[in-house]
Amino acid sequence: MRLAKSLVLPALVALSLSAQEPGLDGLWHRTRVDNIQAAIQACTADMNFITRPIARHKLANVNPAYQKVTLSITPQQVSVKLDDRNPILMPGNGQEAPWTREDGDKFQVAAHVAPSQLTQTFHNDEGARTNVFHLSPDGKTLTLSVTVTSPRIPKPLTYTMTFGR
């Protein structure tokens, strides 16, 4: 009986503490953002004068500085809601699923969940985007690192946004 108590009590305490640890789930509000326009200018600087403004316009339209992010992660499903847009729903097992952006562009999207990190990938025949949501060790800060690649732009577009609870 003593052995059972000595094993069960620490296990219950550990479970209780792990349930209280902050996670990725929840509503996050933006606290900082890189200069996305400068990042777009830099990644398109080497393009010719005809295609450069077209690429800059399209990249600016699909890379806004989100004000808030809502994450919900279960074993069955991962949901990422950016501002007031419809949530992006992905299987919790990492498999790809079809998704259509508000402008009609179609993608395959997947989510990979690791401790303190969610990696969301989008791809189609025009390029790819990776969103890495990383939780700080204290659980108070969520950093979103974005990388956009395409055969149509000479360098990847990269920037970060930081969110707090």
What's the whole-number mean pLDDT along residues 62-66?
97
Residue with tokens 């953002």: 33
Q: pLDDT (tens digit, 9 = 90+) per residue, 34-47?
A: 999 999 999 999 99
Write down the number of H helices and E strands in the chain: 3, 10
Three-class SS of residue 69?
strand
CA separation for the pair 147, 75 (Å, rounded): 26
Query: Taking a C-beta distance cutoff of 8 angstroms, is the pair 160, 38 a contact?
Result: no
Sequence-ordered list of residues with C-beta below 8 angstroms from that of 83, at least 6 positions apart, any chain? 64, 66, 67, 68
* The pairing of beta strand 127-135 with beta strand 77-82: unpaired
Three-class SS of residue 107?
strand
Three-class SS of residue 29?
strand
Residue spans per domain, the chain: 22-164
Whole-model pTM: value is: 0.86
Q: Which CATH architecture has domain 22-164?
A: Beta Barrel (2.40)
Q: pLDDT (tens digit, 9 = 90+) per residue, 84-134?
A: 999 999 999 999 999 999 999 999 999 999 999 999 999 999 999 999 999
